[in-house]
Amino acid sequence: MQKVTWEEVGAAPNAILSPAYKSNGHVFTSGSVGFAPDGTVPEDVAVQTKYAIEALEKVLKSSGSSLDKVLKVLLFIANPLDAPAVNAVYKEYFKHQPARSCVVVQFPDARLKVELECVAVPFISREQIVTRYTIPSKHHRIWHIPALYSRPSSVKSSTMRAMLLGW
C-alpha cells in the first residue's frame, strides 16, 4: 500500500488524513471539497463543484491516475435542490459516467455544499480492465470486472449474464 502525501498534490501537510492511497491496482481518495485556490469557499454550488473536482483531479494525477480512470464516485451534497447544478458540472468532467452514489449530508462547515471521493485505477486504460454493460433502463448500469469472478463451466454465459443483471 502506498500513501499519497499532501506535498505530492501541492497542499499543506497539516491534515489528519491522506489525500489518497494506492493499493492492489486501485487509487482510493479522501473527500475533496470546493475551496477556491485562494482558500476561500465560494457561495455558488457549481463553482464549489468545479473546484472540488479539480482538486480531486490533482490527487488522482499525483497517484498516477486521472478522472477518466475513475470507476466509482461517492458524492455528498448539503441540499438536494443543488443536485441539478452539481450534475451539470459533474457531467463536464465525468463524460464516461462512472458508477456513482449521492448522499445528502450536513457538513461541519455550513459554507460547504459539495464533496466528492472516488476509486480509480492507475497507469492503465479503463478499457483494459472494465467492460460496461448497459441494462435496458437508462438509470441502471453494471460494471463487469473480469478478474473478480469466473463462470463455472456448468453455467451457460446467458444464465450468468441474467444472474449478474438480476433478471
Superfamily of domain 2-123: RutC-like (3.30.1330.40)
The helix (run of H) or strand (run of E) holding residue 133 is strand 131-134
Per-residue model confidence as pLDDT tens digits over 11-32 = 555 666 778 888 888 899 999 9
Identify the segments of the chain with pLDDT beneath 50.
133, 142-152, 155-167
Contact partners, residue 157, CB within 8 Å, separation at least 6 = 151
Cell of 120: 480509480
Q: Which residues contact 154 (CB under 8 A, 6 or more apart)?
A: none
For residues 10 and 133, give the distance between their C-alpha atoms in angstroms, rounded to a whole number: 37
Q: Determine if the pTM surpasses 0.85.
A: no
Q: What was the pLDDT predicted at 56?
A: 94
Give the model's pLDDT for residue 142. Answer: 47
As a whole number of angstroms, the distance between CA 64 and CA 145 comes to: 20
Domain limits of the chain? 2-123, 130-167
Burial 23-46 (b: 16+ CB within 10 A, else e): eeebbbbbbbbbbeeeeebbeebb
List of residues 6+ apart from 120 with CB closer than 8 A: 26, 27, 29, 60, 63, 65, 66, 67, 69, 70, 71
**Residues across the chain:** 167
pLDDT score of 101: 96
Q: Using CA atoms, how far apart are residues 165 and 167, in angstroms rounded to an integer?
A: 6
Name the grid cell of 33: 471539497
